[in-house]
Amino acid sequence: MQHALRFVDVVKTYGGKRALDGLTFDVPTGGITGFVGPNGAGKTTTFSVVSGFLTQDEGALEILGLPAFDPWKHRGRLGVLPQDAELSDRHTPLELLTHLARLQGMGGRDAAREASRVVDVVRLSERGSSRIASLSHGMRRRVAVASALLGSPELVLLDEPMAGLDPLQAKSLREALAELRGRQTLVVSSHNLDELERFCDHVVMIDQGRCLRQGPIGAVTGQQELVQWWLAGPPPLDALAAALPDHSFTFADGVLAQRAPSGADLDAASLVLMGALVSAGVAVRAVRRGKGLEHQFLEDAAR
């Protein structure tokens, strides 16, 4: 299966407002896909349609090769962290997760073992037997993430998994999820684009219920075409153009933008460029490949 998830012209309307307005995108199998968009872009609606919580008005979707969500066919294959869904707080994480694992079809002992495993994955083992009511917001969020990982589903949708987590918790969760790369397909929505850029292999950008752009993160942010150099002084533009004639250079606000032709060897070019800068006595303060996800998103959203 090439695509774990596919949306084709999906429309969902709430009271006359189109939350999804002909949304079309694919999520490739394997890897981690960032699902990016501002508030109200339709991210949570998209996840809810995939999960069967909402039914689309128009369009088609394909989830793990099957049309539309069916709990009997998808349970255990699709894991979802719903946004803002409260946990039954009178139970312990282990009790709740065991119950959910049993609903996925596991026997009692297997379910208990699986609950312990996912609690461990989200680094919450020491609080697995505490009442959920006694856990902090961040810990509850991790329990909810653990529920999405029960049974190692092929496709996992995480709606704002880092929301409300402190930096340490977010880092810990990010690392835990990164370990799943290659084994499961993860789709992660977040407002934190820098975080997604470091974490994801693929990105889908949406706004106002439509897909703005999608593709491998390097391609979307132009990592093969653009290098930005933060310099201490003006660069020798003529020397750079002579040294790298296929590349184009612009300099503004202390930033040198180097645009490379398709298929250029950027590593080799960087050595040439740095040599020219050193010869001109210009110090390099920072370097970044591509525009950055946030920059690209803002550019696309403004169109």
Does 46 engage in binding with other proteins (CB under 8 A)? no
Q: Which of 104, 130, 172, 192 binds other proteins (CB under 8 A)?
A: 104
Can you give the length of the chain in residues?
Answer: 303
Question: At its nearest, how many Å lie between other proteins and the CB of residue 77?
Answer: 11
When asked if residue 71 is in the footprint of other proteins (CB under 8 A), the reply is yes
How many helices, marked H, and strands, marked E, lie in the chain?
Answer: 11, 14
Task: Indicate which single residue of 87, 163, 180, 241 sits in contact with other proteins (rule: CB under 8 A).
Answer: 87
Any contact of residue 103 with other proteins (CB under 8 A)?
Answer: yes
The single residue listed with the structure tokens 């939350």 is 19
CB 108 within 8 A of CB 79: no
- Please, which residues have CB within 8 angstroms of residue 129's CB and are 6 or more apart in sequence? 92, 93, 94
Beta bridge partners of 230: 255, 286
Does position 84 interact with other proteins (CB under 8 A)? The reply is yes
Tell me how far apart the alpha carbons of residues 216 and 197 are, in angstroms, rounded to a whole number.
10
Size of the site for other proteins (CB under 8 A): 31
Give least dist CB 241 to other proteins, A: 57
Q: Does 86 bind other proteins (CB under 8 A)?
A: yes
Token reading at 236:
């020798």
Taking the C-alpha atoms of residue 15 and residue 206, their distance in angstroms, rounded to an integer, is 21
Q: Which of residues 119-178 bind other proteins (CB under 8 A)?
A: 147
Report the interface residues with other proteins, using CB under 8 A: 48, 51-55, 71-72, 74-76, 78-80, 82, 84-88, 90-91, 95-96, 99-100, 102-105, 147
